[in-house]
Amino acid sequence: MWAGGFPLFFEEASGARLTDVDGKEYVDLCLGDTGAMAGHAPAATVAAVERQVRRGVTAMLPSEDAAVVGRELVRRFGLDAWQFALTATDANRWVLRMARQITGRPKVLVFSYCYHGTVDEAFAVLGDGRPRSRPGNVGPAVDPTETTTVVEFNDVEGLERALGAGDVACVLAEPALTNIGIVLPEPGYHDVLRSLTRDAGTLLVIDETHTFSTGPGGYTRAHELEPDLLTIGKAIGGGVPVAAYGMTADVAERVLSSPDADLEDVGGVGGTLAGNALSLAATRATLGEVLTDDAFARMIELAERHEDAVNQVIESRDVPWHVVRLGARAEYRFAPEPPRTGGEAAAQSDSELDAYVHLYLLNRGVLITPFHNMALMCPATTAADVDSHSEAFAAAVDELIG
């Protein structure tokens, strides 16, 4: 999806810098679309991985690191019990199964234009006010409108109506949409989402895979959300495949007391390499020594610097664009106002301008996420890195408007 028609090939990367096979160095604000939010090859993670790879990678037994990481996830996000997966996609898929199992209800509710990985149930959007399969959905096993209820983010009435049917096992939600630009919740929206789901007997699953950028305990901790289940992947292992899903003690108990659910073998949750010792060693080091509370404070400051610079360019050139920040990540879009819903955000998309800006930046040594205009800070990002983007972005706008 990189602009320009020629894929760049990756040679090596360290901290916030990436070098391609032609020896060109880039300031990396894409950071593997969050997978490298800890920076590339962070020393503590590399050392832990090197150590563990010599001691055995996977064994069908938990390592001590699993307990340490579990405690750290409890400290950060507040949910009581944790299990591991290799991708956020799988964490989400398994959580949806558990939610259906313990509620006995068939449906999942998602927000239009959400993205939660390659999760079948999440490939539904609203079109003309009705759920439909998302354009481009590849070979769906069933029409997702059979499995899924869709509402717009921030639409309280739509949510109330949808939950009122009484058939929704869980809401699967990013606390702010991050995969169609950034769509922030309106004030009070999360309180309503929580109380309506509780009233309806519907579980609330918060997917923190991208919104982890908000702070050390994600959006959930920063805004005191109270989900029943929480999923997270990508960044927590410093780039090594790992994901986690947490649940309240009540949910854990309900899951474990399902006598007819095979939670350990071939029941449709879990996987052979899930919770492997290598992933857990990487996660222990990354959370313990790299993506620390202090690192988040610095990353968020740099994202503010980036946001201010982008705003300054937008205002001084009087272009009808906006930028939205969520902790250590920010994204600009080519429309005057931040969208309220995924539908509004989708309608604002401008693929020509996206391609222009991406290629302009790429040619000047700056990477942002190819299918977004997202910039993410890692612990190794510097103010000078942010300024490289600001200068190239200002020049791109100047050339565009002549």
Ligand X SMILES: Cc1ncc(COP(=O)(O)O)c(C=O)c1O
Residues that bind ligand X (CB under 6 A): 87-89, 115-117, 174, 179, 207, 209-210, 233-234
> Smaller CB distance to ligand X: residue 346 or 394?
346
Query: 3-state secondary structure string, the chain?
Result: CCCCCCCCCEEEEEECEEEECCCCEEEECCHHHHCCCCCECCHHHHHHHHHHHHHCCCCCCCCHHHHHHHHHHHHHHCCCEEEEECCHHHHHHHHHHHHHHHHCCCEEEEECCCCCCCCHHHCEEEECCEEEECCCCCCCCCCHHHHEEEECCCCHHHHHHHHHCCCEEEEEECCCECCCCCECCCCCHHHHHHHHHHHHCCEEEEECCCHHHHCCCHHHHHCCCCCCEEEECHHHHCCCCCEEEEECHHHHHHHHCCCCCCCCCCCCCCCCCCCCHHHHHHHHHHHHHHCCHHHHHHHHHHHHHHHHHHHHHHHHHCCCCEEEEECCEEEEECCCCCCCCHHHHHHCCCHHHHHHHHHHHHHCCEECCCCCCEEECCCCCCHHHHHHHHHHHHHHHHHHHC
Residues linked to residue 126 through DSSP beta bridges, in sequence order: 131
> Smaller CB distance to ligand X: residue 179 or 286?
179
Q: Find the length of the chain.
A: 402
> Smaller CB distance to ligand X: residue 15 or 35?
35
> Smaller CB distance to ligand X: residue 148 or 209?
209
> Smaller CB distance to ligand X: residue 87 or 381?
87
The least CB distance from residue 122 to ligand X, in Å, is 9
The least CB distance from residue 210 to ligand X, in Å, is 5
> Smaller CB distance to ligand X: residue 93 or 105?
93
> Smaller CB distance to ligand X: residue 242 or 323?
242
The least CB distance from residue 368 to ligand X, in Å, is 15
The least CB distance from residue 175 to ligand X, in Å, is 10
> Smaller CB distance to ligand X: residue 202 or 231?
231
The least CB distance from residue 327 to ligand X, in Å, is 14
The least CB distance from residue 36 to ligand X, in Å, is 12
The least CB distance from residue 96 to ligand X, in Å, is 12
The least CB distance from residue 219 to ligand X, in Å, is 11
> Smaller CB distance to ligand X: residue 236 or 392?
236
Instruction: Determine how many CB atoms are found less than 10 A away from the CB of residue 80.
Output: 14
Residue nearest ligand X by beta-carbon distance = 117
Distances from the Cα of 28 to the Cαs of 225, 312, 375, in angstroms?
31, 22, 9
Spatial neighbors of 345 by CB under 8 A, at least 6 apart, are: 113, 177, 180, 181, 183, 333, 339
C-alpha count within 13 angstroms, C-beta hemisphere, residue 25 = 8
The least CB distance from residue 336 to ligand X, in Å, is 26
Closest CA relative to residue 160, chosen from 200, 205, 111, 206: 200
The least CB distance from residue 234 to ligand X, in Å, is 5
> Smaller CB distance to ligand X: residue 291 or 396?
291
> Smaller CB distance to ligand X: residue 107 or 210?
210
Instruction: Determine how many CB atoms are found less than 10 A away from the CB of residue 398.
Output: 11
Q: How far is CA 257 from the centre of its chain?
A: 31
The least CB distance from residue 95 to ligand X, in Å, is 11
